[in-house]
Structure 1
Amino acid sequence: MAEQRFRVWFGDNAASEEQLRRIEEIEVTQEMDAFWEAQLRMVLCLDANGAWLHWPGETSEPFSRVRVELDIGNGRFAALIDGPLVSIDADLDSQPGRSTATLVVRDDSAFLNRDEETEPPFEHRKASDIATELFGRFTEIGNTRIDATESTPETTTRRGTVLQFLRELATANDRHAYVLPGDQPGASIGCFLADPVDAADLPPLVLIGNGRNLANATVMQDPEGGERTQAQVLRVDDQGVTSFETSAADLGLMRNLPALPVDLTPRRLLNPAENTREDPTAAATARARRRGYVYKLTSQVIPGCYGGLLMPYQKVRVDAGATPYSGDYLITKVVHHITPSLYTQQLEAKTDSMSEISGAAVAQALGGGLQLSVSASGGIF
């Protein structure tokens, strides 16, 4: 694999070689339904008069733009984060080589979370149309990706920041509201999207065998996960009741075996705080999908062995041998750790089902021709 490189932009200017040399470490945390945040740790030193040299606060104003890009070895730089500088943390010591300043950067959704306000209700408006309007109010958002919604409630009221309101709309409509770095600095992408249906164009993550690139994999099952979500709403016009019930299995599983058999899947009522629309379909669907992700994977990529750049909101194939845990996962969190000599990726991901494994596959994994008929439901990690 070719050498991996990174570069940093401060405002419109690329970091100089001297500035890059003073960066000891960059850690970018990307998480679903949360701020993306980068921490750039830079070395400081004292001159002969006891003054701090290279203090970043001298040139980096609050909410000035910082962008971090990475080339994983394919010759193309991709942005890990692009957004405002929100704080500078100092770790000072009189002994040489022990003082640092850490620049804390968040994605451009930080601009959407500044002012809490109320505004006149949106009447008979689709959530996707509202999201398009709200993203358009910010110059930092250069483009949008919006999945259309169908419901047009009589009124939708905003109270709080724009980001809080967008996330409330997203939760009620089986969507996620977030901001991605754009291809150009200062032109981020506002997203109002459902979970992806297809896997991303990423190489598989392989735990064992040829092409191994994954280490320390842990798969945990949520004992309270999986449910049939039921919702009932009293209609105002005719005093009738609208009922809707669904589950992750009804919505389409990522694998061929459900996490729980149908007769063992518990039924849960939609929380009244979420059940506020005349048509409960979208809210119940969103709740069933969220609760359907029963299995959580945590692992890390072996440095230098993987040719893909992982990010949340993508699906990736995980090969864990002849176990029910092999299959597609939805990435929920990635921590990119960059130093001048090493780049690593740690990930968290989730799935709503298991893969069926045959006796032949188990026998092959054991290295023999023995044919077995098995029903595997346990973990090996």
Structure 2
Amino acid sequence: MAKRVCVIRVDGREIESLYEDMIALEVCEREAEPSTFALKLGIFCRPDSTWTHLDDGEGPATALRLWQRVTVEAGFEGRSEILIDGYIAGLQPEFGTNQSKSSLLVWGHDVSYSMQQEEKVVAWEDRKFSDVAAEIFESYGLEHEVEDSRVVHALDDNLLMQRGTDWDFLNRLAAQLGYELFVRGAKGYFRKPKLATTPQRDIAIGLGYATANAIRFKPKIVGDRPSRVRIARIDPIAKTFESLEVAVSPQQQLGREGVDDQRAGRSAAGRSTTIAQPIAFGSEQEMESFAEGVRRHHDWIVQAEGELDGKLYGAALRARAIVPIRGAGRQFSGDYYVTKVVHRFTLEEYRQRFWVQRNATEEPAFGRLRTPREQEPRVQAKGGEERVETRKPGREVAP
């Protein structure tokens, strides 16, 4: 069994006492919100009445301070990766009746934390949503992956106004398009969910101790989500009424039976329709883009949560990526999109709580478990050859 890896760096360097005093470490990745971390440490009073991790002592300074940069690299030997690269947002010591009951809670956010500090009023003239996202990311020194949002918000037709922080503004634009917004390391992302990428390692449930790596898995299917989105507006120039309808999903289906297939032949179900909340639109193309974004949100009819034994799973499950789930029967086995993962490290174990969603049920290759070789992540090398991607292992902790 591969050894666990957990590396914590503060302002670019490791502090040995963090590992010695760590009670628990949690890193949370989630859709539409900044990634966060929480680190709980034991603290001890020195002979000079100063406290470890709170006050600078002799030798290298170990005191933790607001806005220090914290990087957490974790996983397993040969496949560790950066879970979060961010800043300390708060510290809370708890002084007990004796030193063994005293602790320090340190929490923080990824780099997007710096995008939430200043509220602004900005007029974005003649820009697409994607242009705005790229400019904001660049203003914070971030590289970016931004998907073209097509619609230009012209000054004369529909001026795009920002009132609030850069992060809140971008989050509103992403929600309107059905895009995902997040920062990973030093790169910002503003794009549609990637549903056609190489899947992560399989989650296996209900298949016995020999093959299962999940502690629990709890899915549900929701049948009351509208499958058609209507939208309308009055053209302020031509004084005409314009409407359109999105009745076909604009995104890839992760199974054989989508929401419309579930309703087929059921007269009571009808064809559920929603009227998109009216906002100011400058063009029919903008209207269509907004309606497609609403439809993307309604597509996720299967939602689930569960928990992994990290030692059995053998990798760090990542949010905003595809993961196959096996052993849940014909309805609930298949590829899922991961929306949230909470990684929890203690000296004894590594647990991963996860939340996933799916826009369809069933799968063509029902129930087939991929072999370990098939589960290795692959990238395309020069000359078109396929190679296995590995990472240098970080600090080892107890298996």
TM range (shorter): 0.7 to 0.9
**1:232-271 per-position Cα deviation (integer Å, ceiling 9, x unaligned):** 1222332223322224646442111123315633100001
Whole-angstrom CA distance in 1 between matches of 2:169 and 2:91: 28
Instruction: Please report the RMSD computed on the Cα atoms of aligned residues, expressed in angstroms.
Output: 2.3
The question of whether the paired residues in 1 share the 8 Å contact of 2:306 and 2:354 is answered with yes
3-state SS in 2 of match to 1:46: coil
Whole-angstrom CA distance in 2 between matches of 1:250 and 1:60: 47
The answer to whether 1:291 aligns with 2:295 is no
3-state SS in 1 of match to 2:233: strand
Matched residue, 2:203: 205
The answer to whether 1:168 aligns with 2:166 is no
3-state SS in 2 of match to 1:239: coil
Whole-angstrom CA distance in 2 between matches of 1:269 and 1:85: 43
Matched residue, 1:255: 255
Of the candidates 132, 139, 159, which is equivalent to residue 130 of structure 1?
Answer: 132
The question of whether the paired residues in 2 share the 8 Å contact of 1:226 and 1:248 is answered with no
Of the candidates 60, 67, 74, which is equivalent to residue 63 of structure 1?
Answer: 67
User: What is the letter of the counterpart of residue 338 of structure 1?
Assistant: F
TM-score by length of 1: 0.85
Q: CA deviation at 1:294?
A: 1.4
Whole-angstrom CA distance in 1 between matches of 2:161 and 2:14: 42
Matched residue, 2:40: 41
Instruction: Name the CA shift for 1:251/1:77 in 2 (closer, same or farther; >3 Å).
Output: closer
Matched residue, 1:13: 13
3-state SS in 2 of match to 1:329: strand
Matched residue, 1:87: 90
Q: CA deviation at 1:357?
A: 8.4
Matched residue, 1:184: none
Whole-angstrom CA distance in 2 between matches of 1:337 and 1:282: 39
**1:202-241 per-position Cα deviation (integer Å, ceiling 9, x unaligned):** 1111113362212211112335324311111222332223
3-state SS in 2 of match to 1:337: strand
User: What is the letter of the counterpart of residue 181 of structure 2?
Assistant: A
Question: Superposition pairs for residues 49-198 of structure 1, below 5 Å?
Answer: 51-56=49-54, 58=56, 59-74=63-78, 76-119=79-122, 121-139=123-141, 141=142, 143-154=143-154, 155-181=159-185, 188-198=186-196
Whole-angstrom CA distance in 2 between matches of 1:41 and 1:90: 9
Instruction: Name the CA shift for 1:356/1:241 in 2 (closer, same or farther; >3 Å).
Output: same
Whole-angstrom CA distance in 1 between matches of 2:90 and 2:248: 41
The question of whether the paired residues in 2 share the 8 Å contact of 1:337 and 1:344 is answered with yes
Q: CA deviation at 1:38?
A: 0.5
Of the candidates 325, 335, 360, which is equivalent to residue 328 of structure 1?
Answer: 335
The question of whether the paired residues in 2 share the 8 Å contact of 1:179 and 1:189 is answered with yes
The farther-off stretch of 237-246 and 279-288 is 237-246
Percent identity, aligned pairs only, is: 18
3-state SS in 2 of match to 1:26: strand
Question: Superposition pairs for residues 217-236 of structure 1, below 5 Å?
Answer: 217-236=217-236
Whole-angstrom CA distance in 1 between matches of 2:116 and 2:249: 35
Structure 1: which 5+ residue stretches go unaligned?
A: 182-187, 365-381
The question of whether the paired residues in 1 share the 8 Å contact of 2:234 and 2:240 is answered with yes
Q: CA deviation at 1:302?
A: 2.2
The question of whether the paired residues in 2 share the 8 Å contact of 1:226 and 1:294 is answered with no
3-state SS in 1 of match to 2:145: strand
Number of residue equivalences? 348
Matched residue, 1:25: 24
User: What is the letter of the counterpart of residue 2 of structure 1?
Assistant: A
User: What is the letter of the counterpart of residue 85 of structure 1?
Assistant: I
User: What is the letter of the counterpart of residue 93 of structure 1?
Assistant: G
Whole-angstrom CA distance in 1 between matches of 2:250 and 2:135: 32
Matched residue, 2:216: 216
The question of whether the paired residues in 1 share the 8 Å contact of 2:2 and 2:314 is answered with no
User: What is the letter of the counterpart of residue 267 of structure 1?
Assistant: T
The answer to whether 1:347 aligns with 2:354 is yes
Whole-angstrom CA distance in 2 between matches of 1:201 and 1:234: 44
Instruction: Name the CA shift for 1:92/1:118 in 2 (closer, same or farther; >3 Å).
Output: same
Structure 2: which 5+ residue stretches go unaligned?
A: 57-62, 369-399
TM-score by length of 2: 0.81
Of the candidates 271, 277, 296, which is equivalent to residue 265 of structure 1?
Answer: 271
User: What is the letter of the counterpart of residue 349 of structure 2?
Assistant: L
User: What is the letter of the counterpart of residue 109 of structure 1?
Assistant: S
The question of whether the paired residues in 1 share the 8 Å contact of 2:199 and 2:324 is answered with no
3-state SS in 2 of match to 1:20: helix
Instruction: Name the CA shift for 1:247/1:101 in 2 (closer, same or farther; >3 Å).
Output: farther
Whole-angstrom CA distance in 1 between matches of 2:118 and 2:70: 22
The question of whether the paired residues in 1 share the 8 Å contact of 2:253 and 2:360 is answered with yes
Q: CA deviation at 1:277?
A: 4.5
3-state SS in 1 of match to 2:329: coil
Whole-angstrom CA distance in 2 between matches of 1:264 and 1:288: 17
Higher relative contact order (CA 8 A, sep 6+): 2
3-state SS in 2 of match to 1:112: helix
Whole-angstrom CA distance in 2 between matches of 1:57 and 1:261: 63
The question of whether the paired residues in 1 share the 8 Å contact of 2:195 and 2:337 is answered with no
Q: CA deviation at 1:356?
A: 6.1
Matched residue, 2:394: none
3-state SS in 2 of match to 1:54: coil
Q: CA deviation at 1:193?
A: 1.2
The question of whether the paired residues in 1 share the 8 Å contact of 2:25 and 2:346 is answered with yes
